[in-house]
Structure 1
Amino acid sequence: MDQLDRLLFGDNQFFGVNHMSEEKARAQAMRFQDIKAVIKVLDNAYDEGVKSFMCTTHDRIAQVCDHMRADPVRYKDFKFMPCMPYAHKYANAVTEDGIMGALRRFTPDEGFLNAALRGGKALATKDIEGIITLLVDAEMKMFAGLNTPVIFLQNVVVDLLLGLGFKDAFSIFANHVRKRYNAEPGFITMNLPMLLDVLEEQGIDNPIVCSNINKVGFRMSGGFDAYQSALRDRKFRAIAMSVFASGAIAPEEAIEWVCQQPNIEAIVFGASSRGNIRNTRELVDRYWPAAQEQAS
């Protein structure tokens, strides 16, 4: 099991997601309409040593994949960490192309008929495993030939499955990702304590779990104390997101605090400028070794 990079680059800023400011979100969405602007920021991150990109499977990420595939020498150390599914993509495709057209657009290259029959059988027999694996393969199509060491299940789906009590879906996803893509399964959640209980019940050992972890408890469902207890006492590989609480915590204060927490393996962050990327990297370089030394 490979160690994660300490810093992972996220994609919220590229698609107009900002949890504190709608105005800023709109401005970012306008700026990054041109895929060249997205690639410039990714190049800046890569050149600053941030080489793992934790991204949704938005249609425009396919253009980023094409760009990276076209220059394998330049991007030989670049790692994609897809987060799926991207629900809006499916809804839009069905609207534009109909159900069969959408299937044709997203199904893997192993053959449309095979995938359609697989999906049809799954729907006809309510074979949930078939549906899940078909959707994963459809989402992974754009990443063919690229390095994808971790594949994440998005928090919208993770937390919906938790709410519905459909626990088997997590082991189905994990087994398929390992078997077909030789990748580690990852899970994004807004309720870390509840998810860890279910993953343990499903026999998913030492899972990679990404959740909000920050000094002020911003969007940490289940309670701040429960998160600290989980980090201290549970066996899992934690990725911290929303460490700045969407700007509510000063960068240095946020990074210093999160680096002092036990069992944090990586931090995912978003930024639009090379200066902000460099600043975050330098803060992590400054505080992470001190935190590790204290823990040992």
Structure 2
Amino acid sequence: MKIDPIVLGHNQFMGVNHLNQDSARSRVEKFSNFKNIGKIINYSLENDVKGLMLSTHPKTKEILEFLKSEEYIDDINFYPMLPYAQGYVRKANEKGIMGLFNEIFGSVSTSKKLKILIKGGTGAIQQDAAKLLTTLIDVELIPFDDLNVKAVFFHNVFADLALAFDSEDIFGAYIDHVKDQYDAVPAFGTFNFVRMAEKFDEWGFKKPLIMTSFNKVGFQMNPSKEECEEALKKYDTRIMAMSTLAAGYVKPQEAYEYLGSLKEIESVVVGVSTEEHAKETFGLIRKYLE
């Protein structure tokens, strides 16, 4: 399945900035007004950028409801990223297990709730991690029911943990479930691209879609920029580049000129917070990558 060459990231909408807390607080304030989110997404759609990545953050459900109300929803290709474990822990502490259950499922039909719970309960009894994972996928993708989901990303924290334990069965179960149940591309985030590419090749996982860091200064490229570039050429993978500006260390012109030199990169996920920023970013990506 073809994926979007440019995908809007979600960090700015969630108020995330990995280096600047003042900037993060400013984003929280700006994007607490969903109309500001709508402006960025509308501008992107008008410029033929239709991909949108959203983690299964608590704010995601509200964003999706807003997009439906503004009638943007049918024009967007979604790239959910899951699971959102931090949210589960916090909600369980705030509202208890039943409160957590009610909030996650919302208006989902009773029959679907029972189906998911039975499968998850069986997995827990059998200590079947793969079955528990597929249950978690079903729970977290509920807000995306009936939407155009192109790929489902396994969050880098969990993907790298499974990678550390050589958990071929976890990755295999994830791939099969996303393909069979959602007709979407199973995808993976990682900060360990070289190891993931090596292991997936060893396990026979063909042309995996991997979101990982590629930038001119080697920020978050492990074990090194050079080894990541070598692995990119050696292994048959599909790459969505992230951290392309190295958290602000690299100027956009330099960043996308560098990415353009890596012909194997298929897509770029970017965070934009203003129309001016979006115009510059989309133009440079198209100049050097498309």
TM score, norm. by length of structure 2: 0.93
Instruction: Using the aligned pairs only, state the percent identity.
Output: 31
How far apart, in 2, do the equivalents of 1:113 and 1:100 lie?
14
Stretch of structure 1 that moved more, 43-52 or 263-272:
43-52
* Matched-pair contact (CA < 8 Å) for 1:5–1:52: yes
The alignment status of 1:10 with 2:9, answered yes or no, reads yes
Cα deviations by residue, 1:47-99 (Å, 9 ceiling, x for unpaired): 22211001111121112222333455x44331110000112221122123322
Q: Using the TM superposition, give the Cα deviation of residue 15 of structure 1 relative to its aligned residue in structure 2, in angstroms.
A: 1.6
The alignment status of 1:94 with 2:92, answered yes or no, reads yes
* Matched-pair contact (CA < 8 Å) for 1:39–1:64: no
* Matched-pair contact (CA < 8 Å) for 1:241–1:269: yes
Unpaired runs of 5+ residues, structure 1, are: 290-296
* Matched-pair contact (CA < 8 Å) for 2:92–2:100: yes
Cα deviations by residue, 1:7-53 (Å, 9 ceiling, x for unpaired): 11001111222122122112112222222322222222222221100
How far apart, in 2, do the equivalents of 1:211 and 1:183 lie?
19
3-state SS of 1:187 partner: strand
Partner of 2:173: 172
Q: Using the TM superposition, give the Cα deviation of residue 193 of structure 1 relative to its aligned residue in structure 2, in angstroms.
A: 0.5
Unpaired runs of 5+ residues, structure 2, are: none
- Amino acid across the alignment from 1:102: L
* Matched-pair contact (CA < 8 Å) for 2:34–2:66: no
Task: Report matched runs for 1:246-285 at 5 Å.
Answer: 246-285=247-286
Aligned residues: 287
How far apart, in 2, do the equivalents of 1:288 and 1:130 lie?
39
How far apart, in 2, do the equivalents of 1:285 and 1:277 lie?
12
Stretch of structure 1 that moved more, 82-91 or 177-186:
82-91
Q: Using the TM superposition, give the Cα deviation of residue 123 of structure 1 relative to its aligned residue in structure 2, in angstroms.
A: 1.0
How far apart, in 2, do the equivalents of 1:228 and 1:118 lie?
41
Q: Using the TM superposition, give the Cα deviation of residue 254 of structure 1 relative to its aligned residue in structure 2, in angstroms.
A: 0.7
3-state SS of 1:268 partner: strand
User: C-alpha root-mean-square deviation of aligned residues, in Å?
Assistant: 1.7
Partner of 1:33: 32
How far apart, in 2, do the equivalents of 1:117 and 1:67 lie?
32
Partner of 2:131: 130
Stretch of structure 1 that moved more, 91-100 or 154-163:
91-100
* Matched-pair contact (CA < 8 Å) for 1:103–1:116: no
TM score, norm. by length of structure 1: 0.91
